[in-house]
Amino acid sequence: MCYFAHMDITIRNLQGDAYREAKARAALEGKTVGEVVSEALRAYLQGSPRFQKDRCLAELQPASYGPRSRNVSREIDRIVYGLRR
């Protein structure tokens, strides 16, 4: 049995806009902010090209988030800022 599966962590100096975007993305995907942040940290620690600073922007490939992501920008604005479609 694992007793350390989840930990309450405080992150200081997180940019507000980054947190709001993570919160909106989490809501769209039906996840918690903690799950989204954990996924981002795992990708960073695995050396994902999306997070490597020494890579050329021309090498980046668009990431597909599935058919539900077509209006993700509008959905984020609606969730974060309360805007209507």
Asked if pLDDT for residue 76 goes beyond 70, the answer is yes
Q: What is the pLDDT of residue 27?
A: 92
The answer to whether residue 78 sits within a structural domain is yes
Compute CA distances 62 → 52, 57, 58, 59, whole Å.
Answer: 15, 11, 11, 10
pLDDT at position 67 over 80: no
Range of the domain at 85: 15-50+69-85
- Whether 6 is in a domain gets the answer no
DSSP type of residue 5:
S
| Domain assignment present for 64 | no
Would the CA dihedral through 1, 33, 74, 83 be positive or negative? positive
Task: Answer whether residue 3 is part of any domain.
Answer: no
Instruction: Please tell me the pTM assigned to this model.
Output: 0.48
- The more confidently predicted of residues 77 and 70 is 77
Number of domains within the chain: 1
Tens digits of per-residue pLDDT, 19-64? Answer: 998 999 899 989 999 999 888 888 878 775 555 566 677 777 777 7
Q: Is residue 74 part of a domain?
A: yes
